[in-house]
Chain A
Amino acid sequence: MFEARLLRSSILKKVLEAIKDLLTQATFDCDDNGIQLQAMDNSHVSLVSLTLRADGFDKYRCDRNISLGMNLSSMSKILKCAGDKDTVTMKAQDNADTVTFVFESPNQEKVSDYEMKLMNLDLEHLGIPETEYSCTIRLSSAEFARICRDLSQFGESIVISCTKEGVRFSASGDIGSANIALAQTASVDKEEEAVVIEMEEPVTLTFACQYLNYFTKATSLSPQVQLSMSADVPLVVEYRIPDIGHIRYYLAPKIDD
């Protein structure tokens, strides 16, 4: 028996918003520690890694490890039926071919349940190697989303260049070019608005705008985002989901042919 209950359905709704542009289907691997999802996007350019820890749920029970293969567009349709303040419970029997979502209104006066067919998905076993990054940059997630959106108007790629003075985002194309430089903040009133850079050595890498924009769909999950970069390895864009886990996106840098 698997059962996971969240007091607010909004977290799960936001998680789904954050992955459904990249993945059409995915396997949620559930065990004692919580729920894990790891999948390459449809075009195999990026990888999504989601962790929701058992202790972040209001109630969590997983008697046997279970993999729930879900069609994300169907799951999204079902979650749209939940009110933001509703409690959501995901349930599945061992070896089940369906999963059930139960939504309960705050006053318990409305209880809905939706059963969804599970899919048998080919499991792709990927390993994420421990990596030391040359630069990590922490900034406001809303600021990062804004930068990606603004620079997308200029070209298909964004160059991210990190030095100890700050980080610079650039794009160029037919209409001209754009540069946004953020200095490391000396002091701020709100911690989430700070720009914090940790740098071993400077790095400049180029990434596809389209993917960075897909990643920023996770903005509402966290006030801050962390970018980790090293030469010739995928960029990590990490959103920490308060009290329950994180979502990380890995994107290969563009390389000149």
Chain B
Amino acid sequence: AKNQKVITQFFKNP
């Protein structure tokens, strides 16, 4: 779950 958080935070909607 934490992995997903890292990736979604990084690619947050522009």
**Interface residues, chain A, CB within 8 Å of chain B?**
40, 44-47, 125-129, 208, 232-234, 250-255, 257
Contacts and interface: CB of A to CB of B under 8 A. Distances in A.
Chain A, interface SS category: loop
Given A40-B7, A45-B7, A126 B13 contact: yes
Given A129-B10, A233-B10, 16 more contacts: A40-B7, A40-B11, A45-B4, A45-B7, A125-B13, A126-B11, A126-B13, A129-B11, A232-B6, A233-B6, A234-B6, A234-B10, A252-B6, A253-B6, A257-B1, A257-B2
Interface of B: 1-4, 6-8, 10-14
B7 A47 contact: yes
Contacts of B8: 44
B11 A47 contact: yes
B3 A45 contact: yes
Contact of B2 (A126, A208, A255): A255
A24 B2 CA distance: 24
28 contacts: A40-B7, A40-B11, A44-B4, A45-B3, A45-B4, A45-B7, A47-B7, A47-B11, A125-B13, A125-B14, A126-B13, A127-B12, A129-B10, A208-B3, A232-B6, A233-B6, A234-B7, A234-B10, A250-B7, A250-B11, A252-B3, A252-B4, A252-B6, A252-B7, A252-B10, A253-B3, A255-B3, A255-B6
Contacts, number: 47
A20 to B, nearest CB: 20
B12 to A, nearest CB: 7
Contacts of B11: 40, 47, 126-129, 250
B13 to A, nearest CB: 6
Contacts of A47: 7, 11
The 8 closest A-B pairs by CB, nearest first: A127-B14, A252-B6, A252-B7, A252-B3, A126-B11, A255-B2, A44-B4, A234-B10
Contact of A126 (B3, B6, B14): B14
A235 to B, nearest CB: 11
